[in-house]
Each structure stands twice: as C-alpha cells, then as structure tokens.
Amino acid sequence: MTHADSHEHPIAAPKKLEGQAHPISVYLWIWGLLFVLSFFSYLVDYFHFQGLLRWTLILLFMFLKAGLIIAIFMHMAWERLALVYAILVPTCALLVLTGLMSFEGNYTFATRGTHFAPEVPVAVKATH
C-alpha cells in the first residue's frame, strides 16, 4: 500500500507548485524605488533639461525601472538562464531594427528637404 502511494504512481502524487516566493519587503522596496525613479524622470521634464543631458537621464531612469520590474516583480532574477536568455536575447534584434529605421528616418528627412523644399528658384525664373 505504501509503495503504491509513494513510488509506483508518480502521476497520482500531489502536484508540487513550481512558483516563487520571496519576502514581502523585497516587493515593497522595489515599489518604493520605482516611485523614486519615476519621480526623477518626471523632474527631468519639470526642470526643462534639454539636449544630451535630457536624453541620457530619460534613458537611464527608463532602463533602471524596466530592469527592476523584469528582475524582481517578474522574478527573472531567480529563473534559470535557459529561460532568461530565451526571452531577453531576441529583444536585441530590436536594437538592430531601431538602428536601421533611424538611418531610414534621417534619409527620408533629407529627401524631403531636397524635394519638398519651397521652390524659390522656379518662382524667380518665372518673373524673367
């Protein structure tokens, strides 16, 4: 009887949950940090920082927030690398897409400057 219960029928054994449990203080800390970081990124706009400083600060706070959410709230920090890499590595393809499209965007902007510019020379020619 005891054999049958413990070893012969592994499928019938009660399912052990594979989820994650962490102390509540971890979540509260991250919650607080996210508040502070959001407040900082709001201040970037409030104080009208411009140019390179603005973009650097926005990206810095953005990546810190995203990292905290993925690592702690979504438990990525505690997963096995096989899952972490399967999810995070493909997103690097987006950097390539961003690079290609910024090249494309600049090109379109330049073309518009050439082909849709006010046609001053033509108007001048017409008066003669």
Partner 1 sequence: MAHDASTASGTLAPLEGMQGIVADWSSDQRAFKKVPWGKAMMWIFLLSDTFIFASFLVSYMTVRMSTTVPWPNVSKVFSLTVGGQEVPLLLIAIMTFILISSSGTMAMAVKFGYQKDRKTTALLILVTAAFGASFVGMQAFEWTKLIMEGVRPWGNPFGAAQFGSSFFMITGFHGFHVSVGVLFLLIMAAKVWRGDLDREAPGFLTGRRGNYEMIEIMGLYWHFVDLVWVFIFAFFYLW
At residue 9, the 3 state secondary structure works out as coil
Residue type, 77: A
Q: Is the dihedral of CA 80, 83, 88, 93 positive or negative?
A: positive
**Binding flag, residue 13, partner 1 (CB under 8 A):** no
**Binding flag, residue 59, partner 1 (CB under 8 A):** yes
Residues 108-127, interacting with partner 1 (CB under 8 A): 108-109, 112-113, 116
Nearby residues of 63 by Cβ (< 8 Å), 6 or more positions away: none
* Interaction pattern, residues 28-57, with partner 1; x per rule: CB under 8 A: x-xx--xx--x--xx-xxx-x-----xx--
**Binding flag, residue 21, partner 1 (CB under 8 A):** yes
The token duo for 75 is 């438990």
Task: With beta carbons less than 8 A apart as the criterion, state whether 64 and 37 touch.
Answer: yes
The token duo for 101 is 């499209």
- Which residues of the shown chain bind partner 1 in the complex (CB under 8 A)? 15, 17-22, 24, 27-28, 30-31, 34-35, 38, 41-42, 44-46, 48, 54-55, 58-59, 61-62, 65-66, 69-70, 72-75, 79-83, 85-87, 90-91, 94, 97-98, 101-102, 104-106, 108-109, 112-113, 116
